[in-house]
């Protein structure tokens, strides 16, 4: 088969799973909050079924334990189940030991409920920074085959500003971890994303179309990411500071229409399909330890990715 260059990904979280704020409820409070994730995720599944698109769903383990039938529906309808960790932890906040325990537990939870292997991982908030490059080793040693946590630009929760823009393998002590970074484009000399979360909500369709054309011309994947809360203008709001409220809640009413438009105008496959296609059809060389150091320090782009 040809390379599936595009993926729609859904980070399955609820409305209160927002990062880096003192007003975000602690995990001990989550069970007492109203949940909106089931209805919103079901709406996304209905859309994907109607347009015959398969996607990758990055599930929080905590959500999966409480919505097992919804998780199993994802599997039954042919979507890939991947891990978003268990408790929505940022690696640079919790450290290596707690991060490892969280993602190992999440993988076990998802595999136990679905009866299928989970090979993909995405960190909360794309929260792998240059200083937490140890996370790649942890992800690989936990049994994941690919990672989708690298945001190759500057951002609040993470980001590796000069990371490669195409999928590439990373050499780790346990072997190799395949990385599928977020899609970004160069605008005015800076890397920017317009294909997910608040970026997708802010960008008009004409700009998204222009960006997708740029990616295609450069032979790079279109990676779209949304959260179930992104399609719901009626979900509860946290009392965030003004700028964070804008970032989290602007243009919620536009997301579902944009997602539908993307599905109708671009071909999509799962991230597992993408990994298999790249590693099976494109000559790839996993980075050696010295080259990996360059990736982790965001100072080099020497990556053999075809």
- Where do the domains of the chain lie, and which CATH numbers do they carry? 6-23+32-296 (3.20.20.370)
What pLDDT sits at residue 162?
86
C-alpha dist (Å) from residue 55 to 6, 11, 73, 137: 10, 11, 13, 26
Residue 74: which of 103, 109, 113 has the closest Cα?
A: 113
Identify the DSSP state of 33: S
pLDDT tens, 102-116?
Answer: 999 999 999 999 999
Rounded CA-CA distance 94/117 in Å is 26
Rounded CA-CA distance 284/278 in Å is 8
What pLDDT sits at residue 216?
92
What pLDDT sits at residue 293?
39
Q: For the chain, which ranges sit under pLDDT 70? A: 1-4, 281-306
Rounded CA-CA distance 249/105 in Å is 31
What pLDDT sits at residue 281?
58
What pLDDT sits at residue 3?
59
H helix or E strand, kind and range, residue 49 = helix 37-51
Q: Is the pTM of this model over 0.75?
A: yes
What pLDDT sits at residue 174?
82
| CA atoms within a 13 Å half-sphere pointing along the CA-CB vector of 101 | 5
Q: Are 16 and 33 in contact (CB under 8 A)?
A: yes
3-class DSSP assignment, residue 265: helix
């Amino acid at each position: 088969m040809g390379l599936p260059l595009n993926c729609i990904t859904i980070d399955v979280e609820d409305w209160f799973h927002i990062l880096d704020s003192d007003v975000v409820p602690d995990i001990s409070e989550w069970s007492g909050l109203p949940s909106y994730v089931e209805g919103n995720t079901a709406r996304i599944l209905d859309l994907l079924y109607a347009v015959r698109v398969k996607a990758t769903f990055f599930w929080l383990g905590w959500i999966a334990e409480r919505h097992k039938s919804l998780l199993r529906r994802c599997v039954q309808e042919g979507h890939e189940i991947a891990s978003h960790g268990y408790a929505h932890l940022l690696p640079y906040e919790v450290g290596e030991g707690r991060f490892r325990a969280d993602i190992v537990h999440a993988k076990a939870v998802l595999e136990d409920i679905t009866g299928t292997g989970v090979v993909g991982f995405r960190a909360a908030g794309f929260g792998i920074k240059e200083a937490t490059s140890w996370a790649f080793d942890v992800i690989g040693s936990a049994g994941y085959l690919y990672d989708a946590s690298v945001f190759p630009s500057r951002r609040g929760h993470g980001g590796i500003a000069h990371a490669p823009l195409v999928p590439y393998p990373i050499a780790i002590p346990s072997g190799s971890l395949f990385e599928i970074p977020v899609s970004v484009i160069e605008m005015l000399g800076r890397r920017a994303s317009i294909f997910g979360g608040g970026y997708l909500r802010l960008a008009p369709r004409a700009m998204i179309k222009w960006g997708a054309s740029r990616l295609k011309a450069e032979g790079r994947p279109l990676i779209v990411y949304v959260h179930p809360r992104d399609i719901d203008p009626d979900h509860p709001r946290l009392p965030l500071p003004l700028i964070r409220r804008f970032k989290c809640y602007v243009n919620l009413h536009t997301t579902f229409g944009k997602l539908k438009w993307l599905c109708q105008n671009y071909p999509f496959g799962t991230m597992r399909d993408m990994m298999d296609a790249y590693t099976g059809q494109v000559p790839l060389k996993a980075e050696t330890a010295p080259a990996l150091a360059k990736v982790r320090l965001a100072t080099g782009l020497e990556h053999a990715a075809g």
